[in-house]
Structure 1
């Protein structure tokens, strides 16, 4: 006999009826206008601020194990590098960038490590790379604002995300109806019709009050807040990436992970259909699937993130061995840890990062190139960039491991 897991009940969304009319603008056929015109129901998010929430025992244990795994990952990353290591900051940055890339890939925005590193130097022409860099800025803003998660903080995160050149304006709540579905002209038949624009401010106010509670398990609270944020869909674009940044703001601000950024979105990415289905289940009144998704994603982040840290640390050790003939105060040694977060560099980056002269920056690059740590790939006499092939290979291998399913 198969035992059905107990649900984790939450109030289901309500419905607000409306009427939609597809304009005769010459773009839609008569049949498409007929199909798209008619009644629809926008959702009304349930109130969570005062929700009395009890987890089934097995699910509570699963979430506790996942939280413990995240804490262990954070401690392990520090232990591998040493608490005073120069690589702690860059390692945290590359984990944040990895998480941003995975979150973007959930939205079908894929970019390799090389193009992402080039985009950080304004050397890439890839639109996807520039979009993912904007998502990195969103994550950075989320962590900066983690101790004061109010409406202004959420708007700031979204403004950073929409700073990409091709993105629409950001940092403002939407003034129109949005939905998740194939049709761009009508909400009828959409997989999810978000609340009417006039209902968004009150729904966000309730969500922010829920986020401020201190009586819930952190990972469970972050998962539910994320599902509610996706239900509200407060922006015309970028809701998923902003909502996943909100998760990290919560687990950092509440002290679950403090030194690094666990690649939770990588875990969600590996079961994309399950992640989407869990949001639907939440709206129907059962939070169990989304809580299970986040517990699984947290464990995945902890295990694979640990491997990523160790692989990157091994690249640093190998590079130090290649520099063994240099004095320990050489500029090359100062630059080396920074290559974890920025595996492609040019002279201007080195000069600014090390706070040194152009001549010293060139010397550091020359020392690393002569030792076989960096390779110059452009072949140009001007505007040259150098890359760490080993670090790029590690990052690309990790991205390949977590490709989007479904």
Structure 2
């Protein structure tokens, strides 16, 4: 059996079937383009993976096992650091989920900042990308909530959560499989010159049913299952838009479903973001019959996620402890103590957020914000008499530093 790190992990490649294409509205394009895009084209046909048996080298097996161990240790580290009953554990999961969503969106060239995301969460932001990434956060949340029953309906629910409010996308198509041909690469009028033509829409239901059967198996290494499921999902390309982000949300769902992580979200997309060209090339290799590159890519991304994620947890906890020290002496029943752990997950707040999320009355929320501001925990950043916003600058600095570190790894 091969032991090289470049050993193939054979999987049946996609096959192709031929259809005829005619531009729907040819007058919208030049005559030359309309002519180029008229005629036969080949659409991919995904092979069944429901009963696929991985053949993995000893070196790859060791790599997968090590990456799996690091993910489990990361999850355990978050629980040990905070304690399972700590009120900050939920917000910690929320901020890791938002970090994962931002990285997943950045792979699709949707870039935003931690502050813009936080403002969008409380309806104070107006950045289009931030609002779009919030859709990805909702998809990730749905992925974790639905992890106990990964099915066609749960995949549709993830897509609906992702796309329902995205500008320029028909809400009627959110949470629905596509009913038309899609392709990747050049060719506005048709798919004949495309780099990859996804399966015909009539094949989507069968391919997703097959994928779900593979996900439900218990005899495949979880990371292999995550990587191959993701690559198969991207190959099926079941939606008109949002496939990459939905596919990475599905990865989170599988990790949670299989019990690999339980207390937090894994920022695995940050690891994929380090080298997006290699990630997309790995998806291409999978379609050509080699699952090795995508499996190694997810193993590599898992190690990056575990290492950088643990550091992020530690630095956020340090901010929390520093803030606790600043409000020492406040009455134990003061609302500020309830607000403090929530700031981990939402470092920009207003009174409406505290009233809705924590059940505080308006005056109690204002008193808590005043107390946290007086003690130097929060800064009022809006400078307005009404619709005021308070932020925890230390937490934003940690999140910005994390994003910068991922960018440096990508540049390096």
When the two structures are superposed, what TM-score results if normalisation uses the length of structure 2? 0.95
Which residue is equivalent to 2:170?
Answer: 168
Q: Does 1:33 align with 2:34?
A: yes
- Segment of structure 1 superposing worse, 312-321 or 231-240: 312-321
Query: Distance in 1 between the 2:44 and 2:283 partners?
Result: 13
1:362 to 358, 366, 369: 366
Match of 1:66 in 2: 67
Cα 1:67–1:318 shift into 2, 3 Å: same
Could you tell which deviates more after superposition, 184-193 or 224-233?
184-193
Match status 1:308 vs 2:309: no
CA separation in 1, counterparts of 2:312 and 2:246?
A: 24
Q: 2:217 maps to which residue?
A: 213
Name 1:277's counterpart in structure 2: 281
Question: What is the CA-CA distance between 1:36 and the residue it aligns to?
Answer: 2.3
Deviation track 1:222-254 (CA, whole Å, cap 9, x = no partner) reads 110000000000000000000000011001011
How far apart are the structure 1 equivalents of 2:376 and 2:25?
Answer: 64
Aligned equivalent of 2:352, options 342, 348, 354: 348
Name the residue aligned to 1:54: 55
Asked if 2 retains the 8 angstrom alpha-carbon contact of 1:113 and 1:395, the reply is: yes
Question: What whole-Å deviation, never above 9, does each CA across 1:333-365 have from its counterpart, x for those lacking one?
Answer: 110010010000001111222222111111000
* SS of equivalent residue, structure 1 residue 234: coil
Task: Give the Cα separation in 1 of the matches to 2:112 and 2:276.
Answer: 18
CA distance in 2, matches of 1:393, 1:184: 42
Distance in 1 separating the partners of 2:195 and 2:146: 32
Q: CA deviation at 1:23?
A: 4.5
The one of 339, 342, 346 aligned to 1:335: 339
Q: 1:357 to 1:202 in 2, by over 3 A?
A: same
8 Å CA contact 1:143, 1:249 repeated in 2:
yes
Match of 2:297 among 283, 293, 296: 293
- Conserved in 2, the CA contact under 8 Å of 1:23 and 1:33? no
Stretches of structure 1 lacking an aligned partner (at least 5 in a row):
none
Matches of 1:179 and 1:225, distance apart in 2? 20
Q: Is the 8 A contact 2:135 2:166 kept in 1?
A: no
- In 1, Cα distance between equivalents of 2:84 and 2:263: 10
Q: Is the 8 A contact 1:273 1:405 kept in 2?
A: no
Aligned positions of 1:103-252 closer than 5 A: 103-166=104-167, 167-169=169-171, 170-252=174-256
Q: CA deviation at 1:331?
A: 1.2
Alignment partners' CA distance in 1, 2:141 and 2:205: 25
Query: How far apart, CA to CA, are the structure 1 residues paired with 2:382 and 2:100?
Result: 28
Q: Tell me how far apart the structure 2 counterparts of residues 191 and 402 of structure 1 sit (CA, whole Å).
A: 29
Cα distance, 1:4 vs. partner?
6.9
- Please report how far the alpha carbon of residue 3 of structure 1 lies from its aligned counterpart in structure 2 after TM superposition: 5.8
Cα distance, 1:189–1:83 mapped onto 2, change above 3 Å = same
- Return the offset for 1:39: 2.3
State the Cα deviation string for residues 150-194 of structure 1 (Å, max 9, x = none).
111111111101122413331111100001113322212222110
Counterparts of 1:3 and 1:228, CA distance in 2: 24
Offset at residue 28 of structure 1 (A) = 1.4
For the aligned residue pairs, the C-alpha RMSD in angstroms reads 1.5
* Shift in CA distance, 75/24, structure 1 to aligned 2, threshold 3 Å: closer
Which residue pairs with 1:95 in the alignment? 96
